[in-house]
Amino acid sequence: MRSGAGKQIEARGVEDPLVLEAMRAVPRHLFVPEDLRKYAYDDHPLPIGYGQTISQPYIVALMTQLLRLTGDCRVFEIGTGSGYQTAVLARLVKHVYTIEKHQELSTSAQNVLATLAVANVEFRVGDGSCGWPDGGTFDRVMITAAVPGFPQPVVAQLAEAGLIVAPVGAGSVQQLIVAEKRHGRLIERYVCGCRFVRLIGAHGFQE
């Protein structure tokens, strides 16, 4: 993250020093197509193929901060995409479990994270709206694609007092929502408007 982008992110309310440090440490240009690398540190999304994008740095930092991560967290990420958000999370938590619909994107992300010696990430290919295929519970969940609502199979895998963040809504502009699980139910808080590609799946949007 270049210094100019870093100052902009801080000015917009991302203040967690560990999140900012992780954003500075992860080389975003490695996660975008070579012909777009000159734009890698601009604060806007970029296409990565298969109708998917790498989110703008501010949104990556904001969503990461909203999860209030600790070093012992187990995080479930739905939508590996380029692997950039995955790499940021991996610097902050014990383990990341990430799932991606497109095999090619998952493979590319795995290759980049391997070059960065990131070893605390487990990858799967499949329908993330159905939850983590191996079961289990997670302290935090991040959904990096728009959903019509929080998918129930995913909510079921969120631990009590855990946090989940996702862009929610069917329109071209969604609501970024962070929610805490209390007594089996989600207490939701609206954060801001945002734009994401849709999560296609059994508990997401249809093709």
Known catalytic residues are 55
Cα-based torsion angle of the residue sequence 17, 71, 181, 144 in order, rounded to the nearest 10 degrees: 70
Tell me the C-alpha distance between 149 and 169, whole Å.
7
Residues 6+ apart with CB under 8 A from 1: 9, 23, 24, 26, 28, 41, 57
Cβ burial of 95 (10 Å; 0-12, 13-18, 19+) is middle
CA atoms within 13 A of residue 56's CA, in its CB half-sphere: 14
Is-contact 103 125, C-beta < 8 A? yes
Other beta carbons within 10 angstroms of residue 166's beta carbon come to 28
- Alpha-carbon distances of 117 from 23, 90, 113, 114, 154, rounded to whole Å: 16, 11, 6, 5, 29
